[in-house]
Amino acid sequence: MSKLADNLARVEEAIARACRAASRPRAEVELMAISKTHPSEALVEAERLGLHLFGESRVQEFAVKSAQLAVSAAPGETATVRSQIRVHMIGNLQSNKANKAVEVFDGVDTLDSVKLAVRLDAAVAANVLWGGKKLPVLVEIKLSSEESKAGLAPDSAELSALLERLPDLKHLDAQGLMTIAPLDVPEEETRGCFRRLRELRDELAQQHARLHLPMLSMGMSGDFALAIAEGATRIRIGTALFGAREYPA
């Protein structure tokens, strides 16, 4: 078995265990493979192992890989790997990159301002490749006080403004919330963070009746079992699948 196949089997086992412990069906939890910094060959191999949802954190990095995947097909097949997978933006997205983002991504899971939402909506409207389909988006929420964390604070005016505006942006499909838990904190704090995201979603769904927010993207390699226990419907796994990331010096 390849290293990736081995890692995937281990991750699947841990997901199944966490689902059983939470009395949740496995089918309720989507596995998103986080392939940032890894070459397009890693996505090709992952697709062959049955993974179809990926997350990438940089527009330019994925634009290069997307072009490579658009010409690579399995032996004897005509469908390209790119056409068999969905890839979402999970990194900080500047609104001036909205056009490029909707050219290469199938979704944006880090929506964090009205300005970006308006730009993405216009970019999808203007892009014939989308052909009337809506761009799936998640609103990124900041639940820890670390200054570096991206996302909107739960009680911020900007979050209310964004949720008020989203139903009117006809080319966006707001599906739920996303958060990154603080790293290296006690397990109870991590779990509390995931619980707050679920409770916030329930509150927001009540306050904004025109929105339906079923998706909770939370949990990474180190904490996805806790996230599943608290209701995650999408977990984002990088290191546990692809190994440690190497960043250029």
Ligand X SMILES: *Cc1c(COP(=O)(O)O)cnc(C)c1O
Site for ligand X in 205-234 (CB under 6 A): 220-222
Count of beta carbons in the 10 Å neighbourhood of residue 70: 14
- How many residues of this chain bind ligand X (CB under 6 A)? 14
Smallest distance, Å, CB 220 to ligand X? 4
Site for ligand X in 83-112 (CB under 6 A): 90-91
Our CB check for ligand X shows the closer of 91 and 192 to be 91
Interface residue with ligand X among 107, 136, 176, 238 (CB under 6 A) is 238
Nearest to 211 by CA among 111, 144, 99: 111
Smallest distance, Å, CB 90 to ligand X? 4
Which tokens belong to 129? Answer: 């490749």
Site for ligand X in 32-61 (CB under 6 A): 34, 36, 57
Q: How many residues does the chain have?
A: 249
Buried b / exposed e along 141-176 (16+ C-beta atoms within 10 A): bbbbeeeebebbebeeeebeebbeebeebebbebbb
Which tokens belong to 226? Answer: 């806790």
Question: Would you count residue 176 as binding ligand X (CB under 6 A)?
Answer: no
Distance CA 207, CA 66 (A): 39
Question: Would you count residue 152 as binding ligand X (CB under 6 A)?
Answer: no
Distance CA 82, CA 224 (A): 27
Smallest distance, Å, CB 111 to ligand X? 13
Question: Would you count residue 146 as binding ligand X (CB under 6 A)?
Answer: no
Interface residue with ligand X among 180, 181, 204, 216 (CB under 6 A) is 180
Our CB check for ligand X shows the closer of 244 and 249 to be 244
Contact between residue 150 and residue 142 where contact means Cβ atoms under 8 Å apart: yes
Which tokens belong to 102? Answer: 């909707």
Which of these segments, 12-20, 78-86, 127-135, 238-246, binds ligand X (CB under 6 A)?
A: 238-246
**Residue 128, φ and ψ in degrees, nearest 5:** -65, -25
Smallest distance, Å, CB 244 to ligand X? 8
Our CB check for ligand X shows the closer of 31 and 159 to be 31
Contact between residue 152 and residue 142 where contact means Cβ atoms under 8 Å apart: yes
Q: Which residue is nearest to ligand X (CB)?
A: 238
Q: Which spans of this chain sit near ligand X (rule: CB under 6 A)?
A: 34, 36, 57, 90-91, 180, 220-222, 236-240
